[in-house]
Structure 1
Amino acid sequence: MMDTKLAFYGGTKEVQAPFNWPVFDQREVDAVAEVVRSGQWGNPDCGDLVARCEAEFAAYCGTQYAVSCVNGSVSLRLALIACGVKPGDEVIVPPYTFIATASTVIECNCVPIFVDIDPETYNLDPTRIEAAITDRTKAIIPVHFGGQACDMDAIMDIAQRHNLRVIEDAAHGHGAEYKGRKLGSIGDAGSFSFQSSKNLTSGEGGMVVTNDKELYLMMRSLRNVGRIEEGQWYEHYNPGCNYRITQMQAALLSKQLEKLEEQTQTRNNNGLLLNLLLADINGISPLTRGHGETLHGYHIYIFKYDPIFFGNTPKNQFVEMLAAEGVPCFKGYPEPLYKQPLFQNKNFMCYAIPEEVDYTQVECPEAEKACYQDAVWILQSGMLGTSDDIASFAKAIVKIQLALTA
Structure 2
Amino acid sequence: MVGQVKSRALAIHGGEPAHTLRAPAYPRFDDEVFARIRTTLQHGPTQGLSKGHPVVRELEERVAELHGVPHGLCTSSGHGALQSALIGLEITGGDEVITSPYSWGASVSCILHNGAVPAFADVDPATGLLAPEALEAALTERTRALLVTHLYGQPADMTAIMAFAERHDLLVVEDGSQAHGARHRGRRVGSFGHASGFSTNGVKPLATTEGGYMVTRVADCYWKATISGQHAGRGELIGRASEPGFPDELRRGIDSLVYTYRPNLVTALLTLARLPQLDAENAERRRNAERLRELLAGIDYLSMPEYGADDEPVFHMVTLNFDAAAAGVTRDAYLAALNAEGVPAVGYVERGLHRSPRLSPDWDGPRVMWTEAIRRSGVDPTRLELPGCEAKVAASIELPWNYLGVDDEFVASVAGAFGKLDANLAELRAGAGA
TM-score by length of 1: 0.92
Long gaps (5+) in structure 2: 234-240, 428-434
In the TM superposition, what whole-angstrom CA distance separates every residue of 1:220-273 from its partner, at most 9, and x where no partner exists? 3333235534599x9753753332112211111101112211111111122222
| 1:50 and 1:246 in contact (8 A); partners too | no
Partner in structure 2 of residue 288 of structure 1: 306
Letter in 2 for 1:399: K
Which range moves more in the overlay, 186-195 or 381-390? Answer: 381-390
SS in 2 for 1:15: coil
| 2:95 and 2:144 in contact (8 A); partners too | yes
* Aligned counterpart in structure 1 of residue 355 of structure 2, from 339, 351, 354: 339
| Cα shift at 1:291 | 7.0
Q: Distance in 2 between matches of 1:254 and 1:70?
A: 15
SS in 1 for 2:128: coil
| 1:43 and 1:247 in contact (8 A); partners too | yes
Q: Distance in 1 between matches of 2:9 and 2:326?
A: 19
- Percent identical across equivalent pairs? 29
Partner in structure 1 of residue 430 of structure 2: none
Partner in structure 2 of residue 329 of structure 1: 345
Q: Distance in 2 between matches of 1:352 and 1:377?
A: 34
Partner in structure 2 of residue 172 of structure 1: 178
| Cα shift at 1:395 | 1.8
| Cα shift at 1:141 | 0.7
Q: Distance in 2 between matches of 1:328 and 1:185?
A: 33
The structure-2 alpha-carbon separation of the partners of 1:26 and 1:323, relative to structure 1 and needing over 3 Å to count, comes to: farther
Q: Distance in 1 between matches of 2:59 and 2:98?
A: 31
Partner in structure 2 of residue 367 of structure 1: 389
| Cα shift at 1:292 | 4.6
Q: Distance in 2 between matches of 1:384 and 1:124?
A: 31
| 2:74 and 2:214 in contact (8 A); partners too | yes
SS in 1 for 2:118: strand
| Cα shift at 1:348 | 4.0
| Cα shift at 1:151 | 0.4
Aligned 1:2-401 pairs, distance under 5 A:
2-19=6-23, 20-44=25-49, 47-227=53-233, 228=241, 229=243, 230=246, 236-237=253-254, 240-290=258-308, 292-293=310-311, 295-310=312-327, 312-344=328-360, 345-346=362-363, 348-350=368-370, 351-353=372-374, 354=376, 356-371=378-393, 373-382=394-403, 386-401=407-422
Letter in 2 for 1:242: T
Q: Distance in 2 between matches of 1:320 and 1:360?
A: 28
The structure-2 alpha-carbon separation of the partners of 1:4 and 1:382, relative to structure 1 and needing over 3 Å to count, comes to: farther
The structure-2 alpha-carbon separation of the partners of 1:381 and 1:112, relative to structure 1 and needing over 3 Å to count, comes to: same
Letter in 2 for 1:250: A
| Cα shift at 1:37 | 2.3
Long gaps (5+) in structure 1: none
| 2:126 and 2:392 in contact (8 A); partners too | no
Q: CA RMSD in A?
A: 2.3
Q: Distance in 2 between matches of 1:175 and 1:324?
A: 33
| Cα shift at 1:299 | 2.1
SS in 2 for 1:44: coil
In the TM superposition, what whole-angstrom CA distance separates every residue of 1:255-311 from its partner, at most 9, and x where no partner exists? 111221111111112222222222221211112212751x2111221111123444x
Letter in 2 for 1:368: E
- How many residue pairs align between the two structures? 402
| 2:126 and 2:321 in contact (8 A); partners too | no
| 2:357 and 2:382 in contact (8 A); partners too | no
| Cα shift at 1:189 | 1.0
Q: Distance in 1 between matches of 2:56 and 2:215?
A: 14
Which structure ranks higher in relative contact order (CA pairs < 8 Å, sequence separation ≥ 6)?
2
| Cα shift at 1:2 | 4.0
Q: Distance in 1 between matches of 2:309 and 2:112?
A: 31
